Amino acid sequence: TDQQLKQILNRIDQKGYKAYKDIMGEYQFSDFKLSIDYVQGDPFASPSRIRVSVPNPQAGFVNQLYNTQYKRKAVVDFLSRTVAKNISKHYNRVGGSGKSGLLQIGYCGQELIERNYVIIDDEKVEARLEVGLPAAGRRVLGKNAINLFFKALPAIVKKSLFYESISEEKLINQVRLAEDQQFIRGEIENRNLVAFIANGSILPRESGVSQRPMSGNAIPFTSPKEYEIELVLPNHGKVKGMGIPEGVTLIVGGGFHGKSTILEALQLGVYDHIAGDGREYLITRENAVKIKAEDGRSVEKVNITPFINNLPMKLDTKQFSSENASGSTSQAANIMEALEIGTDLLLIDEDTSATNFMIRDRRMQQLVKKDKEPITPFIDKVRTLYEEQGVSTILVIGGSGDYFEVADHVIMMDEYIPKDVTEVAKEIMKDVTNPRKVEQSHSTLTEQSRVLLKSSFPSGKKGTKVKVRGRETISYNKMDIDLRNLEQLIDSNQTHAISYTLYFIMERVVNDKLTFKEVVDTVYEKLTKKGLDVVSPYRGHPGNMALPRKFEIAATLNRFRYLKIK
Ligand code: ADP
Ligand code: MG
């Protein structure tokens, strides 16, 4: 019982930090169970992991609140934020050495994604927390630990995990919003759209390092009349906004008129956003992938022949590998890899593309003949992609009118307001006397046949250590995987989930027979059907995770420099 914990803490007070190991175990408090699953070795190490769990009929949450995947996601997010709020309200961290006195739950940002910080089902409501067990130097501060476990924790549990004490109205609103977002996702597919942006949405963000909405001077989004549709949401009712149709859509306009901002909002529309974010009713197809040039990345046996052929030195582009890909080859590989996993919408910004991959104008065609140019530019593939494979593209391009030729829709950003200029662009096209020649590579955008080999996961001297540094880096036995360019990987706890996924793939999935895609699909299905905890290497508290998309799992593997493909 809880009294046993108190006795141990009194006994080890002022002893060496290792004495804390004695508190590992389960303790029954009056209205919750505390599990101390992992105890840190010293005050500077990663914090200890604990769980608090309230039996559910008693907690008061009815099944109807969490009986679908998207509702549960919303409830878990809400309760996680509630726990965080109540920690700051009911707990005063007293200083000490290292992480001494820390008490926290995983962080939730602007996106509403599936997280494992809270578990809710018919048996229990459980929150997973991290604790820095209190110390002065390396001495146990038993009294501070008693205060943390016996005063703060019960208050936090009481205020956060019982239905009667949380704000019912806010919880229900959050579930209703999730329901509306889910509805829009279905509706854009039914209507053959790739995205919906509600009028009044706020697209620009506070700054390059903050995903909060721009405050004050943001100009709200308004749809061009030509694309305006009305949806009737199950909870919020009627919303008008822009439906972006399938096909090839150009976003043009002068510099600084908001082109990149709209594309960045679209690329994050694969996720749902919380109330007050400004992007609540901006929804993009879930499998949209942002494509960039990424010179320097490694590439392992990717068929890039649709874009690149006859490289100097007879480099193979059917199974193209590189430790240090160029701008254009990396962009080609990024597209082929996204197609392999099953994207049906590419998002491309000229700002982050390789020019020679995007365009090759009339004059350059005359000077450098086709047989001297290995690259078939994207402009000559974008229609094939749509017509033969049903893959749409939204492309930001302010610098080349050649693209009018291949576009279904041309939208111009004019002081942050989109205008339809498709007809004008078509008029301009008619005028050209010396048009650009269409160039075709012979290969079509065929499937990849890549088998993922077990030898991709070599063991180090002391086994295998996979570590995460922030959102952007996973290190595998000291070999870094660089995730900086994955703009749709938005949370370091997604990175954590991917790092555990690597272990899982290495230990449970690869067998030298499954293809790369099959490996990714297998692990992704496990994550979504069984829950994030399935990939955790730990017992008890599984480590904080947020659900990544399969595209980011694949992208991580594809940037892994030990990757071996047959
Ligand atoms: P472009 O890609 O067309 O050059 P950006 O999308 O980079 O332009 O936008 C330029 C600037 O305008 C950015 O600082 C951005 O935050 C700001 N901005 C974008 N959209 C809006 C808006 N709707 N209201 C106010 N400011 C905006
Ligand atoms: Mg731009």
Name the residue of 221, 261, 352 whose CB sits within 8 Å of the most ligand 1 atoms, as the mutation to test its pocket.
Answer: 261
Q: Which of 294, 441, 423, 416 is nearest to 360 (CA)?
A: 441
CB 477 within 8 Å of CB 464 = yes
Rg of the chain over Cα atoms, rounded to whole angstroms, equals: 26
Nearby residues of 223 by Cβ (< 8 Å), 6 or more positions away: 197, 199, 240, 241, 242, 418
Ligand 1 centre and the CA of 271: distance in Å?
Answer: 21
Nearby residues of 487 by Cβ (< 8 Å), 6 or more positions away: 264, 267, 290, 292
pLDDT at 16: 96
Burial label, 292 (beta-carbon count in 10 A; 0-12, 13-18, 19+): buried
In angstroms, the CA 272 to CA 175 distance is: 12
pLDDT at 338: 97
In angstroms, the CA 564 to CA 557 distance is: 10
Strand partners for 124: 55
Q: At residue 167, what is the residue type?
A: S
Q: CA 462, 467, 472: angle at the middle one, nearest 5?
A: 150
Ligand nearest to the Cα of 351, by number: 2
Cβ of residue 219 lying under 6 Å from some atom of ligand 1? yes
Domain boundaries, the chain: 2-166, 288-430, 454-558
In angstroms, the CA 461 to CA 362 distance is: 57
Ligand 1 centre and the CA of 256: distance in Å?
Answer: 6
Burial label, 356 (beta-carbon count in 10 A; 0-12, 13-18, 19+): middle
Q: Tokens at residue 168, please?
A: 């019912």
Ligand 2 centre and the CA of 256: distance in Å?
Answer: 7
pLDDT at 442: 64
Q: At residue 27, what is the residue type?
A: Y
pLDDT at 1: 87
Q: Which of 556, 551, 546, 519 is nearest to 346 (CA)?
A: 551
The protein residue with its alpha carbon nearest to ligand 1, atom 16, reads 204
Ligand 2 centre and the CA of 397: distance in Å?
Answer: 8
Cβ of residue 261 lying under 6 Å from some atom of ligand 1? yes
Name the residue of 203, 215, 256, 353 whose CB sits within 8 Å of the most ligand 1 atoms, as the mutation to test its pocket.
Answer: 256
In angstroms, the CA 164 to CA 150 distance is: 21
Q: Distances in Å between the alpha carbon of 219 and those of 59, 83, 223? A: 44, 34, 12
In angstroms, the CA 399 to CA 252 distance is: 8
Ligand 1 atom at shortest distance from the alpha carbon of 416: 23
The protein residue with its alpha carbon nearest to ligand 1, atom 19, reads 258
Ligand 1 atom at shortest distance from the alpha carbon of 220: 23
The protein residue with its alpha carbon nearest to ligand 1, atom 25, reads 218
Ligand 1 centre and the CA of 232: distance in Å?
Answer: 30
Burial 425-452, CB ≥16 within 10 A → b, else e: beeeeeeeeeebeeeebeeebeebebbb
Cβ of residue 257 lying under 6 Å from some atom of ligand 1? yes
Q: Distances in Å between the alpha carbon of 324 and those of 99, 306, 551, 562? A: 40, 20, 21, 14
CB 69 within 8 Å of CB 547 = no
CB 503 within 8 Å of CB 535 = yes
Ligand 2 centre and the CA of 320: distance in Å?
Answer: 30
The secondary structure of residue 329, as a DSSP letter, is H
Please give the average pLDDT of every successive group of 10 residues along the chain, which has 566 residues: 95 96 96 97 95 96 94 96 97 90 96 97 97 95 96 97 96 96 98 98 94 93 98 98 98 95 98 97 98 98 92 85 96 97 96 95 90 92 94 94 95 97 92 80 73 95 92 96 98 98 96 97 97 95 98 98 96
The protein residue with its alpha carbon nearest to ligand 1, atom 9, reads 258
Ligand 2 centre and the CA of 275: distance in Å?
Answer: 27
Q: Read out DSSP for 54-117?
A: EEHHHHT--GGGTSSHHHHHHHHHHHHHHHHHHHHHH--PPP-STTTT-EE-----SEE--BSS
The protein residue with its alpha carbon nearest to ligand 1, atom 15, reads 204
Q: Distances in Å between the alpha carbon of 448 and those of 430, 514, 553? A: 39, 13, 17
Q: Tokens at residue 386, please?
A: 């749509």
Ligand 1 atom at shortest distance from the alpha carbon of 396: 2
Q: CA 262, 267, 269: angle at the middle one, nearest 5?
A: 90
Cβ of residue 260 lying under 6 Å from some atom of ligand 1? yes
Cβ of residue 255 lying under 6 Å from some atom of ligand 1? yes
**Site of tokens 């038993």:** 142
CA atoms within 13 A on the CB side of 417: 7
pLDDT at 501: 97
CA atoms within 13 A on the CB side of 238: 4
Q: Which of 58, 198, 47 is nearest to 122 (CA)?
A: 58
Ligand 1 centre and the CA of 407: distance in Å?
Answer: 23
Ligand 1 centre and the CA of 379: distance in Å?
Answer: 26
Ligand 1 atom at shortest distance from the alpha carbon of 255: 4
Q: For the CA atoms of 19, 20, 21, 26, what is the dihedral angle to 10 degrees?
A: 140
Ligand nearest to the Cα of 251, by number: 1
Ligand 2 centre and the CA of 299: distance in Å?
Answer: 27
Cβ of residue 418 lying under 6 Å from some atom of ligand 1? no
pLDDT at 444: 67
Ligand 2 centre and the CA of 253: distance in Å?
Answer: 10
Ligand 1 atom at shortest distance from the alpha carbon of 261: 6
